[in-house]
Amino acid sequence: MLRLMKRPVRCCLVPTFAAVLCLTLPGHAQGNLSSLQRSFGLQRDALYGGKDLPTQAQEAALLQQQTKALQEFLAKDQSPERFSGAILLAELYLQQRDREAAKKTLLGIDPDLAPGRLLLTAADMLAHLGEKAQRDALVKQALMKSMPREERLAMAVVLMTQLREVKQGEQIFAEALAAATDDEARALVRWRRCDALRGREDLPENAWFEALSQLAMELPKTYWGSVARDRNLASEFKLGGESIPFAVTTLDGKSFDSKALRGRGVLLVFWNTLDDGSKDLVKAIATLQQQHGAELAVLGIGLDDNAAAYAQQSTKLGATFPHICDGKGPQTDLALRFGVEITPTILVIDRNGKLAGLNLHVDNQVTRDELTAALKRALLR
């Protein structure tokens, strides 16, 4: 069965709370902050890429170095990115067990200027730091803000999951559903509510699947109804079972159609160029391409939150396989349909469109052997 993941995509800063924010602000470019994060990722790769594990002193030194770099970025930047940067800076302080610095950073966020969803993330962090009054104040201020529908729905998910403000979240969903003027809009609201149900620990695990099934059954002709259908199918994935058919256009403008690829093995590589070990992943995929040639079709699905930066970084890493990236991160279409949120994750499809490998990786020799075995099954005639 495919793992339907509830933890965030790994990032160079390991931002537990910032994962709620997905490190992006709708409608704003993330160039400078993304560049800084990528440099942090390269630093981590250098630290952990050697034969020996780094010492605690080396890890502490890197955290201090990155904290200083982020402080300098925030001192100069006046764009909306500074709010996301403040969340990340608070995370770095917490990794160094400096609760007071983290608290000061969070309380320094201007609630009048910061987006509502970011205020909720800050509120959640302050709650964990024992600042309930400040947490409640930020939640109230976030709810008073005017914002686009998508951002308000995302805020409702955070309210119901991270902050356990179920009544407030349900009210947002009810208002959005009442305001929806067509089936596509209604399907979007219901999909976002499914997301909220998945993250609620007070509900039975099947509550989310039941909501997905209802969405798929009642609004089957909508985009989100079709995603709900495929997501439910993905939850039942097993070796030898049918994969989900798909067709995409790669970054170089070519078609990659699963039906047209019958007769060849297919490797779906869900990854993020910010991942630790992304360089090793690219090398491993290149080796497989050389070994199997035209018998194997590879598609990289980039879950980066910046499509332009992904294209640049994947080239630097030496990725020559066809790939797609729309800058939507875990909200990328194929990631939603296949239920993939943790990167890297590799799926293998055999010559007949059947699943030959699920949740595969190349982190160590054991996982590489599992991938080799899956490819052997996929390419069997």
pLDDT in tens, 255-278: 999 999 999 999 999 999 988 789
pLDDT of amino acid 34: 78
Average pLDDT (319-340) is 94
Same-domain pairing of 374 and 252:
yes
How many other C-beta atoms can be found within 10 angstroms of the C-beta atom of residue 14? Answer: 14
pLDDT of amino acid 49: 74
Q: For residue 351, what is the domain's CATH number?
A: 3.40.30.10
CB 177 within 8 A of CB 189: yes
Q: For residue 100, what is the domain's CATH number?
A: 1.25.40
Q: What is the phi-psi region of residue 165: left when phi exceeds 0, alpha when psi lies from -120 to 50, beta otherwise?
A: beta
DSSP β-ladder status, 265-271 and 296-302: parallel
Average pLDDT (324-343) is 94
User: Which of these, 363, 313, 12, lies nearest to 300 by C-alpha position?
Assistant: 313
Amino acid at 379: L
pLDDT in tens, 148-197: 999 999 999 999 999 999 999 999 999 999 999 999 999 999 999 999 99
CB 119 within 8 A of CB 96: no
Exposed e or buried b per residue across 167-204, where buried means at least 16 C-beta atoms within 10 angstroms of its C-beta: ebbeebbeebeeebeebebbbbbbbbbbbbbbebeeee
CB 62 within 8 A of CB 43: yes
Average pLDDT (210-222) is 97
Residue 74, in any domain of the structure: yes
Q: Crossing angle of helices 31-48/307-316, nearest 10°?
A: 30
Lookup result for tokens 């699947």: 209
Higher pLDDT among residues 78 and 235, named by residue: 235
pLDDT in tens, 94-123: 999 999 999 999 999 999 999 999 999 999
Residue 112, in any domain of the structure: yes
pLDDT of amino acid 175: 97
CB 297 within 8 A of CB 259: no
Helix/strand/coil for 204: coil
pLDDT of amino acid 112: 94
Residue 57, in any domain of the structure: yes
pLDDT of amino acid 13: 35
Average pLDDT (301-305) is 94
Residue 169, in any domain of the structure: no
Residue 230, in any domain of the structure: no
Question: Which two structure tokens, joined as six digits, stand for 141?
Answer: 């201020």
Please identify, among 121, 147, 173, the residue that sits at the C-terminal boundary of a domain. Answer: 147
Same-domain pairing of 139 and 252:
no
How many other C-beta atoms can be found within 10 angstroms of the C-beta atom of residue 92? Answer: 24
* Greatest mean pLDDT among 24-38, 65-79, 346-360: 346-360
3-state secondary structure 156-181: HHHHHHCCCCHHHHHHHHHHHHHHCC
Q: Rounded mean pLDDT of the chain? A: 89
Residue 64, in any domain of the structure: yes
Is it the case that residue 5 has pLDDT exceeding 90?
A: no
pLDDT of amino acid 37: 83
Is it the case that residue 254 has pLDDT exceeding 60?
A: yes
Same-domain pairing of 257 and 372:
yes
Lookup result for tokens 């160094």: 96
Please identify, among 147, 169, 193, the residue that sits at the C-terminal boundary of a domain. Answer: 147
Phi and psi of 113, rounded to 5°? -105, -30
Residue 182, in any domain of the structure: no
pLDDT of amino acid 9: 32
pLDDT of amino acid 14: 39
- Number of structural domains in the chain: 2
pLDDT of amino acid 81: 87
From residue 195, how far is each of 50, 53, 157, 199, 214 by CA, in Å? Answer: 39, 38, 7, 7, 14
d(CA 358, CA 139): 40
pLDDT of amino acid 27: 39
Residue 43, in any domain of the structure: yes
3-state secondary structure 310-331: HHHHHHHCCCCCCEECCCCHHH
Average pLDDT (291-309) is 94
pLDDT in tens, 19-69: 444 444 443 444 588 788 878 888 887 888 777 889 999 999 999 999 999
- Domain residues for the domain of 46 are 18-147
Is it the case that residue 360 has pLDDT exceeding 70?
A: yes
Is it the case that residue 2 has pLDDT exceeding 80?
A: no
Please identify, among 118, 147, 176, the residue that sits at the C-terminal boundary of a domain. Answer: 147
CB 254 within 8 A of CB 22: no
